[in-house]
Structure 1
C-alpha cells in the first residue's frame, strides 16, 4: 500500500517529542505538509531540525503555543488557518492516588486532554467541510477503556476523547470527513522513559518499561511496550485516502492489553 498525502496539510498538536513527533514524522514521510506544535519555541525549533534531518525534503512548519487554554488556539489558528488533517495528540498524564487529586488537577487534565481536541476540531472543521474532505484523529488510550486505578483522572479524559470522536463522526455522516480515535497502550515515549527510569539511558528505560508491562499490564499480548512509531503507523493509515470507510472507530494499538474481541 502506497500512502500519498501530497497536497495535504496536517496539524499535530503536542508534537515536539514522543508519539506526537513520531506521527508528525510519519505524515511528513507520506508527503504531507506538517505543522508541529509545542509550548516552547526552543522545543519547536529542535523538533523541526530533527524532523528535517529524519525526513529529507519534508515540508514542515512549527507553532509555539500553549494549547491548554483558549488563547493558545487563537495563536495557532492565526499562524495556521487551514488543515486537511488534524491529529489531537497533546495531553498530560500522571500517577496519582484518587484521594490526592485536587480540583485544580481535574480541571487541568480536562482542559488539556479534552478541551484541546474540542477547540482544535471546532477551529479546523469548517475548512474541511468546505472541501468535503478531512481527517480528524483523537489520540485516546487503552486507559480510556480499562481505567487505571492510579490515574483515574487521566482515564476519565481518555474516555471523553472516545465519546467526542464518536459523536463528531456521527455528526459528519455522509461527508468526506472521517473522525477516529487511536488508543495506544504502554508506549516508550519520553514521558514514560522519565517515569520508569529517571536519568537512565534508552536501554535501561526499555527494560524498566517492559517489566512494568509484565507486572502491571499482564494482559498485554506482546508483553512489551510499543514504540511511538508503531502508534504513528496506525495514525498515518487513518489519515490516508485509503481509510475512507473507517470512521467513528476506536482503533487500538495497545498490544492486546484490553481483553476483548470487539
Structure 2
C-alpha cells in the first residue's frame, strides 16, 4: 500500500497572504511618513499634508498588492474568456458616487478658498482669510488657500491617475475561461480588488476634505465683524468634515481588510 501524502495547502493562500502584507506595509509606511510630516512642518502644514502623504502610501500599497495577483489558470496552457468588461462593472457603485461627490466638494472648497485667501503677516500667500469691515480688518488662519491646497491637489491628481490605471488593469486582465465556478471566483476577486483601489482613492479625497473643511469652518466662525451668513457657512462645513472623516475611516478599513481568498476548486 502506498502512503498517501498529506494534502497541500490551497495555492491561493500564499498570494492572498502576500497581498494583505503588501497592503499593510503601504499603510505602515504611510503612517510613519505622516507622523514625520505632522511633526516636522509648522504653520499647520504638518497635519494637513500628513493626510495625503498617508493616503498616497496606502494607495501605493494597494497598487503593489494588485500587481501580485496571479494570472488566470496555472498550467502551461491557459484559457481566457472573451467577455467584454468595463471599469464600471467592477466598481462599488454607491461608494464611488459618494467619493465623487466628496471630490467635487473638495475641489469647490479649495477653489473658493484660493480665491478668497490672503497673505499672512509675513507675506506667505494663500495662508489666511482676511476680511475688511467698517472699522477693522480681521485675518484668520489657517485657511485652505493655495499655500495648503496645492500639495493636496497634486496628491489627488497623482493618486487619481494611479488608481485609474489600476482599475483599468484589473478590468482588462485576461479572465479564465471554461469552468463557470472559476470564472465567477475571478469576477469576485476583481470586484474585491476594485473596491480596495476605490477605497485608496477615497483616502486621497476624504481625508484632505475633512482637514480643509475643519480649518475653513474654524476660520469662518472666528470672524467677529461679518454677518450670520458667513458664520452659517462655517457651521455647515462641520458636518461636511464629519462625513468626510467617517468616509476616510471606512476607506482605511477597506484598504486594510484581508482580501477574500479564492476558492480552490469545486
What TM-score does the superposition give when structure 2 sets the normalisation length? 0.31
Higher relative contact order, chain-length normalized (CA < 8 Å, sep 6+): 2
User: Larger Cα Rg: Structure 1 or Structure 2?
Assistant: 2
What TM-score does the superposition give when structure 1 sets the normalisation length? 0.32
